[in-house]
Amino acid sequence: MRAKPARVAILISGTGSNMDAILRARDGINADFVGVISSKPGVEGLHKAEAHGVPTAVIDASAFAVRRDFDDAVADQLEAWGAELIVLAGFMRILGADFVRRFENRVINVHPSLLPLYRGGTAVEDALADGAKETGCTIHVVVEDVDAGPVIIQRPVPIEAGDTRDTLHRRIQAVEHELYPEAVQRICAGEIHLDSLGDDQPGVTALAGTPSG
């Protein structure tokens, strides 16, 4: 059990619904939420973070001609806050290899599928196009390849007859709002060690949650 609270920062780009779910669960998480960074100004998630009393910063991605300069600005702010765990919650930017190496095994993300299935930005549409019976959501470690990092925890979501992208995405998101706080809680409690996860680790499958109803 980790004695000292982890210093956690959250990165967003929009409404911040997953961020809000995590912050609503903060009383059960052994963490200090040191700040929220948005890649866009004026988004709803910034107001939610402020309502939770968490410091915010806007680093407008559109103001940077070079991606690495944006990544460096985000990284500098995270280091100024002393962030130990970085949570991507609807952060609509792909972070470069230098950023990932700078914060190796300290960045996590949520993805709307049971990875390694349906990587990329059209995961919900791809599951529907495949005629899959279920999809789900995955919390994973961020690595240099997109959606390719070790699985932390994942949970299936059934695909129902007549599902559209919107109806399926809403059900996946409802599960995300339960699973992401759980993952952050378990990491901050010292139950899950990001630097020891891997495809051959025996305990990874056991971390999966129960199916959503």
Give the catalytic positions in this structure: 111
Dihedrals phi, psi of 75, to nearest 5 degrees? -60, -40
Distance between CA atoms of residues 180 and 110, nearest Å: 7
Contact by Cβ (8 Å): 176, 152? no
Residue type, 194: L
Distance between CA atoms of residues 51 and 201, nearest Å: 39
Of 55, 42, 35, give the one whose Cα is nearest residue 13. Answer: 42
Contact by Cβ (8 Å): 73, 63? no
Contact by Cβ (8 Å): 82, 7? yes
The token duo for 29 is 């998480």
| Residues, the chain | 213
